[in-house]
């Protein structure tokens, strides 16, 4: 799922112009101040559901959690009014944001094409659910009775007295890394009984406890799915040019230097 | 003359002080010639990637995205890459 933000006066108007230009399913998320539907006391999440669609209200959530939910079945998320988000953001009227990719005086002045291009060139928001939903859409899904998944995440400690790992930073050989991943996917998917393979590895800074890498296998039966998921993550780690720098509470180092 | 582009990653880029650079070699030059041109004046990088006078086994060498040998020839606009072992699964906590 590609994500585009807009901040400043006219942010919502700009995103309303962007939405119809996008192919695929589009979500919008708007920052509001204390407004929104109310929930009864003791209720954490409330839905209304009917023929015309659904509405929902919930308590504490973060933008990250909302994007994680949307990423399962949306191609784009448009965010209005989240200046602190690290997503590609259009800044209108000299508003400030963490990751400004385009500036314009107002919504009329902003180039929709440039905004969409900036969103599409950034790393997409991908979760395990994104890949699981993707393989379920396969034309070969009716032959598949199993989905096996692997999630790699940032481990803070191996032993109690280890220095805590606070973050990892992944650098990627752009283009070649993707090509190698697509090769691994197609070679594993060519095995008897394996229908689809999807993998994704995040890059940049990933904090302690966050997910790093996903491998998802759609297969006829569980045996093939387990073998393919294990071989998939092993091959990804051996063959795909991704480099890991580890930051602990005391130091920074490239992980391959310590092996 | 043939101009090729070098890409460097991880600590190799840090040692070299450059992530990307171009070098020019003679017609009919090999990957090894392009490597010599890259390492010319970059002694830190040479020390990092060479082991007993040859390219260390653990250093990966790619030409246009595929594994390359030192003896193959280069062509105009080739992209060569040098990088350390890829991320692997081990962390500091495994170190001995």
Nearest chain B residue to A160, by CA: B93
Q: Which site among B60, B86, B89, B90 would you substitute to test the A interface, given the most A Cβ atoms closer than 10 Å to its Cβ?
A: B86
d(CA A211, CA A130): 13
d(CA B66, CA B81): 9
Q: What domains lie within chain B, and their CATH numbers?
A: 2-83 (3.10.20.30)
Whether A71 shows a pLDDT value over 90: the answer reads yes
Whether A111 shows a pLDDT value over 60: the answer reads yes
Write down the CATH superfamily of domain A128-258: Molybdopterin biosynthesis MoaE subunit (3.90.1170.40)
- pTM (2 decimals)? 0.89
A81-98: average pLDDT: 96
**Cβ <8 Å between A237 and B86:** yes
**Cβ <8 Å between B84 and A253:** no
pLDDT tens, A181-235? 999 999 999 999 999 999 999 999 999 999 999 999 999 999 999 999 999 999 9
The pLDDT value given to residue B95 = 38
Domain ranges of chain A: 2-121, 128-258
Q: For residue B21, which of B76, B85, B81 has the smallest C-alpha distance?
A: B81
Q: For residue A217, which of A152, A158, A124, A138 has the smallest C-alpha distance?
A: A138
Whether B87 shows a pLDDT value over 80: the answer reads no
- A240 to chain B, closest Cα gap in Å: 7
Nearest Cβ partner for B85 among A158, A162, A256: A256
**Cβ <8 Å between B86 and A238:** yes
- Neighbouring C-alpha atoms within 13 Å toward the C-beta of A173: 34
Nearest chain A residue to B83, by CA: A241
d(CA A257, CA A20): 49
pLDDT tens, A221-235? 999 999 999 999 999
Q: Which site among A174, A241, A244, A258 would you substitute to test the B interface, given the most B Cβ atoms closer than 10 Å to its Cβ?
A: A241
């Amino acid at each position: 799922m590609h994500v585009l933000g807009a901040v400043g006066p006219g942010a919502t108007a700009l995103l309303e112009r962007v939405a119809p230009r996008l192919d695929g399913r589009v979500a919008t998320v708007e920052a509001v101040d204390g407004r929104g539907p109310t929930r009864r006391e003791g209720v954490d999440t409330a839905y209304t559901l009917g023929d015309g669609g659904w509405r929902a209200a919930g308590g504490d959530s973060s933008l990250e959690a909302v994007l994680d939910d949307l990423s399962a079945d949306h191609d784009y998320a448009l965010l209005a009014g989240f200046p602190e988000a690290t997503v590609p953001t259009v800044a209108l009227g000299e508003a400030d944001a963490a990751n400004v990719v385009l500036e314009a005086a107002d919504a009329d002045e902003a180039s929709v094409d440039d905004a969409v291009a900036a969103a599409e060139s950034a790393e997409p928001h991908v979760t395990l659910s994104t890949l699981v939903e993707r393989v379920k859409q396969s034309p070969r899904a009716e032959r598949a009775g199993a989905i096996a998944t692997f999630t790699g995440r940032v481990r803070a400690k191996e032993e109690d007295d280890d220095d805590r790992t606070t973050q990892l930073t992944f650098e990627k050989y752009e283009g070649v890394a993707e090509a190698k991943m697509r090769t691994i996917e197609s070679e594993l998917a060519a095995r008897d009984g394996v229908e689809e393979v999807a993998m994704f590895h995040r890059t940049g800074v990933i904090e302690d406890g966050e997910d790093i890498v996903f491998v998802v296998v759609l297969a006829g039966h569980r045996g093939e799915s387990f073998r393919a998921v294990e071989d998939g993550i092993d091959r990804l780690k051996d063959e795909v040019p991704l480099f890991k720098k580890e930051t602990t509470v005391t130091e920074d180092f490239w992980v391959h230097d310590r092996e | 003359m043939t101009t090729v582009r070098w890409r460097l990653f991880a600590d190799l880029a840090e040692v070299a002080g450059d992530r990307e650079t171009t070098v020019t070699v003679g017609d009919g030059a090999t990957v090894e010639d392009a490597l010599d041109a890259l390492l010319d004046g970059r002694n830190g990088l040479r020390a990092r990637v060479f082991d007993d006078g040859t390219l260390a086994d653990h250093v990966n060498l790619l030409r246009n995205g595929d594994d390359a040998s030192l003896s193959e020839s280069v062509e105009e606009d080739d992209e060569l890459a040098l990088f350390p072992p890829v991320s692997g699964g081990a962390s500091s906590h495994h170190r001995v």
